[in-house]
Structure 1
């Protein structure tokens, strides 16, 4: 269950905010890193000089500026969730759990392990994903998988609270993820998406190019009394890989 992933990782400290995320991690030790968008230089290069090789200071910085209206509205929803549904709800803990669930489910999709998605993804969505994934070329399938260490940025999107005709209560939270992949994808197939390339060059002149792709996962939980506290993924989008 997705809830199992949330319970396992919910107590980990969150490294994300809505406004700024800094990855204080050396992508490649004593290497050069540059960030390109669609092949064009977009950011400065980070070097480790001879004096700095003992303590390289390379980092990737992703800055996100949220829509003030959406930011305020989601804060109201978080308050309502804590007040009327789950007093222990924390968006920071939820975000960390969603990140782990995203990595796990994306790997299963990449490997076409659709039976393993039972209990994690809504049943009606699994069939649609199977139909799309089985016809994908191998490089597209590889690009679906997001390793935890390659997830650069995670942020909550829209939040919804609704009731059905039978009085059942639901909460849905849309999550957006940005992650790196070294899958070889043709540029023309990704038209209309925001594509960045990260070139990593080692001291021997070897260069590896990675793309920064986006994914949207929607998590839904029923809060009706007596219903297990499980979050289910009800929507999955990966750039244009699953179109």
Structure 2
């Protein structure tokens, strides 16, 4: 399968190296702070009243993208949830991408193209997860049983929440770029891992076709609150000299920031 802008295809075989990279999970605190900043009054409203507000709509027309407030999306993997960029990591990502990976590992490497290609990958993989299709070479073999097990116990409504349309993604960024070296073998290998974060709003493309745009205070508007999804996808590619490889997903997760807030 061809994925434009940096993800031409997925490998048939990929040796996945274990690593000790830890990602700083600031999703709960940052999202809560965002809500407090936007509307202290709404957060102080009791939870039962707030949950009733979630299902309200400003339109009298049926909304096929409307999501009931009682549907929560369980985690796909035990993987740290990341929602916002980190300035120190962004600086490190730039240094690694353009001063190490590009000159010494791959002259054609372009982090911007990787970001665009990852959006297409999220579209394809999330829809296959939602429909129960075979993930094939899109993800590493070790995570397929985990994903299948988690999706198999989801309700129909929860599976529908998994599907993300590329055109519904409104904010994307590489959270962390990492280089992995394996010097324990006679044939040393090197890999690059990139953790991508994508924010999407179900039905966004249709809104834009109607001439509408996302409100700045989207997080506190009940109409949109349960339509927001944050997807964390970590990609890996082997850059060993003489090896032709492609990007593959070795970890992923979807979550709704509203669920994070309600869980506190």
Fold equivalence (TM over 0.5)? yes
**1:7-26 alignment, distance < 5 Å:** 8-10=4-6
Match of 2:124 in 1: 104
- With over 3 angstroms needed to count, the CA separation of the structure-2 counterparts of 1:65 and 1:181, relative to structure 1, is closer
Root-mean-square deviation (CA, aligned residues, Å) is: 3.1
Match of 2:200 in 1: 179
- Alpha-carbon contact 2:138-2:248 (below 8 Å) kept: yes
Extract structure 1 runs of 4+ deviating beyond 6 A. Answer: 35-38
**Mapped partners of 1:105, 1:198: distance in 2:** 28
- Alpha-carbon contact 1:155-1:177 (below 8 Å) kept: yes
List per-residue Cα deviations over 1:144-202 (Å, max 9, x = no partner): 110112111111011110112221110000000111236xxxxxxxxxxx9665748xx
- Alpha-carbon contact 2:122-2:233 (below 8 Å) kept: yes
Name the one with the larger strand percent: 1
- With over 3 angstroms needed to count, the CA separation of the structure-2 counterparts of 1:118 and 1:147, relative to structure 1, is same
SS in 2 for 1:9: coil
User: Which ranges of structure 2 fall in alignment gaps of 5 or more residues?
Assistant: 8-37, 44-49, 54-82, 204-217, 260-264
**Mapped partners of 2:109, 2:120: distance in 1:** 17
Following superposition, the deviation at residue 69 of structure 1 comes to: 1.2
**Mapped partners of 1:236, 1:111: distance in 2:** 17
SS in 1 for 2:89: helix
Which protein, 1 or 2, shows the higher relative CO under an 8 Å CA cutoff with sep ≥ 6? 2
User: Which ranges of structure 1 fall in alignment gaps of 5 or more residues?
Assistant: 12-34, 42-63, 183-193, 201-208
Following superposition, the deviation at residue 10 of structure 1 comes to: 4.1
Following superposition, the deviation at residue 226 of structure 1 comes to: 3.4
The answer on 1:228 being equivalent to 2:244 is yes
Match of 2:167 in 1: 149
**Mapped partners of 1:124, 1:196: distance in 2:** 38
**Mapped partners of 1:99, 1:145: distance in 2:** 13
**Mapped partners of 1:65, 1:145: distance in 2:** 21
List per-residue Cα deviations over 1:5-27 (Å, max 9, x = no partner): 1xx2349xxxxxxxxxxxxxxxx
The answer on 1:121 being equivalent to 2:139 is yes
Match of 1:56 in 2: none
SS in 2 for 1:146: coil
SS in 2 for 1:120: coil
Name the one with the larger helix percent: 2
- Alpha-carbon contact 2:179-2:192 (below 8 Å) kept: yes
